[in-house]
Amino acid sequence: ISNTTIITDSDIIFYPEFRNYLSAFNNNNWYLPEPPESKNYDINCVQPFLFKKVMYSVNAGFIIINNKPDWTIGFDYLIQSLSQNSTSYFLDQTALNLVFSNDLNARLLDPRIFHASANDHFQIKPLSINGLAMRHYVGLIRHKMWQLGWNKYS
């Protein structure tokens, strides 16, 4: 990795506010926090591995890499899990949590601006995009991604 690299899922929409943060992304590695209501890794799978810092859980849908992280612990976890025929749905998310917990310079994206929560999934009215830089339309709310598709944002 020689330049800023953004890894993103296809169910993310970027809003105009996103451009205000581009220059901040030139340093450090950044990750989108998983909302508190989500459980995106299996604690039983990661017990033999060491989390080096307490942190928000990583949402694998959006990460920014400037400095090559040490992927070793993530791959070790994947190799061990697969050798034990693990069927955990969150193998990739768990591996990323291990990698980012060992990256002492990784930074958390503000969840009020970089939104991944599905806490509005029972609301018919769409979430206001005022102040949002992006939204990850995770499972429970993926249908909302198309709810405002006819609107034009500038």
Q: Is the pLDDT of residue 153 over 60?
A: no
Handedness of CA 80, 139, 112, 29 (dihedral sign): positive
H-only helix segments in the chain: 43-46, 72-83, 91-101
Q: Burial-class residue 92 by CB neighbours within 10 Å (0-12, 13-18, 19+).
A: middle
Query: Over the stretch 30-63, which tens digit does the pLDDT of each residue have?
Result: 998 877 666 665 555 555 555 555 567 788 889 9
Reply yes or no on whether the pLDDT at 128 is more than 90: no
Predicted confidence band of residue 65 (pLDDT cuts 50, 70, 90): very high
pLDDT higher than threshold 50 for residue 20:
yes
Tell me: pLDDT of 29 over 50: yes
In sequence order, the 6+-apart residues with CB closer than 8 A to the CB of 39 are none
Q: pLDDT of 78-116, one tens digit each? A: 998 889 887 777 788 888 888 988 888 889 899 888 888
Q: How far apart are CA 133 and CA 13, in angstroms?
A: 9
For residues 3 and 22, give the distance between their C-alpha atoms in angstroms, rounded to a whole number: 13
**Contact predicate 100/42, CB 8 Å:** no
| Angstrom distance (rounded) from CA 79 to CA 59 | 21
CA-to-CA dists, residue 114 to 56, 72, 90, 125, angstroms: 14, 28, 21, 19
Q: Over the stretch 4-19, which tens digit does the pLDDT of each residue have? A: 999 998 888 888 999 9
The answer to whether residues 68 and 1 touch, using CB atoms and an 8 Å cutoff, is: yes
The pLDDT value given to residue 154: 42
State mean pLDDT over 125-139. 76
